[in-house]
Amino acid sequence: MKKYIVAIVGATGLVGREFIKVLEQRNFPMASVHLFASDRSAGKKLFVGHREVEVKETSHSSFNHIDIALFSAGSETSRYFSPIAAQKGTVVIDNSAAFRMEPKVPLVVPEVNPQDIKEHQGIIANPNCSTIQMVVALYPLHKVNPIKRIVVTTYQSVSGTGAAAMEELTTQTKLVLEGQSVVPHVYPHQIAFNLLPEIDVFLDNGYTKEEWKMAEETQKIMHAPDIAISATCVRVPVFIGHSESINVEFTRPMTPEEARRILVYAPGVKVLDDPSVSLYPQPWSVAGSDDVFVGRIRADASRPNGLVMWVVADNLRKGAAVNAVQIAEEAIRRGWL
């Protein structure tokens, strides 16, 4: 089997480190791996398996002879370096928002639209973490009974913001418990013991960019521009794992039993749904897993064709690194690299 030369850009970050773990855990066919970050990390060493690999500053020459580059170093870095890499023949799988809505860039969740990978011109976008887990749970239902409308509220962990935000939650929690005052750095307000209904910037229409991304990306991935979507995204003081309360309206009625039956066999989905023993997905218990967990499936008492459900996934794994590596695996398997 052919082995590939892989680069990770943003290797020192939360998702970057997860890329390293996921590539190893999934036994990805790698000839070698090259780690890149900013100049601040140049010379640092990270373990890849039992071997230490030196981190280099990302530069134009980083992509000579690289087959696949996994990017998670922010939109600005992606916007600058991804086209350079693609021009050198590297296939970029980009975790930032930089190219997601560009018509010529496939935006892929392998359980939903693997066929879109074929259209890539060197860059494939990995969707937003909250979008990924929502479409993995909803697409199997949509195929049976087309969705007309989605109203979703997210409860997103601080790891979605990055390493600095995880540190901020730890520090603030200690300070609050010690009765000391808190000065926020990463978020506009204290995140410890608090909730912030603000993720990414506010748009003129009153939504945040994160909320808008969930709507646009879902329509693009599911090839369903007519689904009406309204999202409210909330940052919560949880370290890992995004949770979503999803209210979905179908074309025809769908019972909770039918939805459960479909989801039990859906790829990448695990149903955890038994209210009699308080069984439902929680961020604490799904952290470290690669599946999307669904529970609290019930009829929407306010709409005849509606269902309500609770969907939780590890945002660093299925919401980022696992999905990106699955895209690479799918591209290899189908001969579309």
Q: Which residues are catalytic?
A: 129, 242
Measured from the CB atom, the residue of 73 and 238 that comes closer to ligand A2P is 73
* Residues constituting the chain: 337
CB 197 within 8 A of CB 234: yes
- Do 312 and 279 touch, CB atoms closer than 8 A? no
Q: Are 267 and 111 in contact (CB under 8 A)?
A: yes
**Shortest Å distance, C-beta 209 to ligand A2P:** 17
Q: Name which of 34 and 270 has its Cβ closer to ligand A2P.
A: 34
CA distance 110 to 323: 7
* CA dist., res. 60 & res. 315, Å (int): 30
Q: Which is nearer to ligand A2P, 161 or 218 (CB)?
A: 161
d(CA 8, CA 25): 16
Q: What tokens does 60 get?
A: 């134009």
Q: Whole-number minimum distance, CB 122 to ligand A2P, in Å?
A: 19
- Who's near 26: CB < 8 A, 6+ residues apart? 325, 329
CA distance 267 to 97: 25
The least CB distance from residue 3 to ligand A2P, in Å, is: 25
- Residue ranges in contact with ligand A2P by CB under 6 A: 10-14, 16, 37-38, 40-41, 58, 73-74, 77, 162-164
Q: Which residue, 170 or 285, is less far from ligand A2P as judged by CB?
A: 170
Residue closest to ligand A2P (Cβ): 13
Q: Are 297 and 269 contacting, i.e. CB atoms less than 8 angstroms apart?
A: no
In the bound complex, what is the minimum distance in angstroms from residue 19's beta carbon to ligand A2P?
10
Q: Shortest gap between Cβ of 207 and ligand A2P (angstroms)?
A: 23
Largest separation between any pair of C-alpha atoms in the chain: 60
Is there a contact between 150 and 230 (Cβ–Cβ < 8 Å)?
Answer: yes
Nearer to ligand A2P, 14 or 68 (CB): 14
- Distance, in Å, from the CA atom of 331 to the CA atom of 68, rounded to the nearest integer, reads 11
Any bridge partners for residue 243, and if so which? 155, 312
Cα 138 from Cα 14, distance rounded (Å): 27
- In the complex with ligand A2P, the residue whose CB is nearer, 165 or 308, is 165
- Is residue 72 within 8 Å of residue 320, measured between CB atoms? yes
Q: Crossing angle of helices 129-144/209-221, nearest 10°? A: 40
Which of 73, 259 has the CB closer to ligand A2P? 73
Quote the least distance from Cβ 94 to ligand A2P, whole Å: 12
Distance CA 232, CA 297 (A): 20
Q: The tokens of 251 are what?
A: 């074309």
Q: Are 135 and 248 in contact (CB under 8 A)?
A: no
Q: Nearest distance from residue 231's CB to ligand A2P, in Å?
A: 22
